[in-house]
Structure 1
Amino acid sequence: MTDGPLDPETPPTLGELLERYATLRDTLLGLEAEKIELGEVIKAALLRGERAETDLYRSSIKVQRRLEYPLERFREVFGDAATLEVASIDKKKAEALARAGDLDGEKLRDIALVREIQALVLTAKGG
């Protein structure tokens, strides 16, 4: 299958569609990983006081502070029952369990919460 638009005259096979989908998914995953890595390098530089700009964009950091409690220390002070009550769930591990069928994926999605994080911001210049 080509990398261009689908030909309406000759519909692609399901296998060709799957191949293209997999290619796009793999490309996006690779690009996302690179974007995350570059973002971390840029954020570290900005936090050291450096500035980063292009002809089109200016970068900045928006920082939100989040209070955390170390698990083991919390458990020592408050005990197992309290620790279990306030414990955080690892998103990737929970989703992997849902994919494996060990957790109900729909119920997992129903209980999900959104948390805000530190983000690299690009602001368009002069427009």
Structure 2
Amino acid sequence: MSDWPPHPEAAAVPSLSDLLERYATLRDTILSLENEKNELGELIKAALLRGERAETELYRSSVRVQKRLEYPLERFREVFGDAAALEAASIDRKKAEALARAGDLDPERLREIALVKEIQALVLTPKGS
């Protein structure tokens, strides 16, 4: 259990600098853990794709193919122009779809240029399921 924030009966109230320090520490810890999780996931997926098996007392692991829409930058720019490409930046799917919902992009033309990418996702299934 976290000892942050301090108990109400604690004498000192943390300063804004203390709060910022704690925030930065948590952010850095989370980023570090996310990076480690991603690296471990890649190693496990590679092993599973080679036919190895992995499980713990609680979980079985598997690799499943998932599909994800992406919009190729050059094609997006050709269809919608430089300004829209710049607005959507990396052509983030959610941003592009938000622009279409807002009426700034033609939704039908956006669907026409969409590419479906398959990615391999590591899946943990509880053994009780």
TM-score, normalised to structure 1, is 0.59
The answer on whether the counterparts of 2:64 and 2:121 sit within 8 Å (CA) in structure 1 is yes
Q: Deviations over 1:61-85 (max 9, x none)?
A: 111356989888x8xxxxx835969
Q: Which amino acid aligns with 1:81?
A: E
Question: Aligned to 2:34, what secondary structure does the other structure show?
Answer: helix
Deviation >4 Å, runs of 4+: 65-72, 82-85
Gaps of 5+ in 1: 75-79, 95-107
Distance across 2 between alignment mates of 1:12 and 1:110: 42
Kept after mapping to 2: 8 A contact 1:71/1:83: no
2:78 to 76, 81, 100: 81
- Deviation of 1:56 after TM superposition, in Å, equals 1.2
Distance 2:61 2:34 in 1: 18
Instruction: Report the identity percentage.
Output: 61
Aligned-residue CA RMSD (Å): 4.1
Greater strand content: 2
**Tell me, what secondary structure is at the counterpart of 2:66?**
coil
* Residue 126 (structure 1) aligned to one of 118, 121, 128: 128
Change (3 A) 1:40 1:112: farther
Give 1:26's aligned residue: 28
Report how many aligned residue pairs link the two structures. 104
- Amino acid aligned to 1:7: H
Contact 1:61 1:118 survives alignment (8 Å): yes
Letter paired with 1:33: N
Name the SS for the 1:62 alignment partner.
Answer: strand
Q: Distance in 1 between matches of 2:14 and 2:24?
A: 15
Q: Is the 8 A contact 2:53 2:61 kept in 1?
A: yes
Cα shift at 1:7 = 2.7
Report the TM-score, using the length of structure 2 for normalisation: 0.58
1:61 equivalent in structure 2 = 63
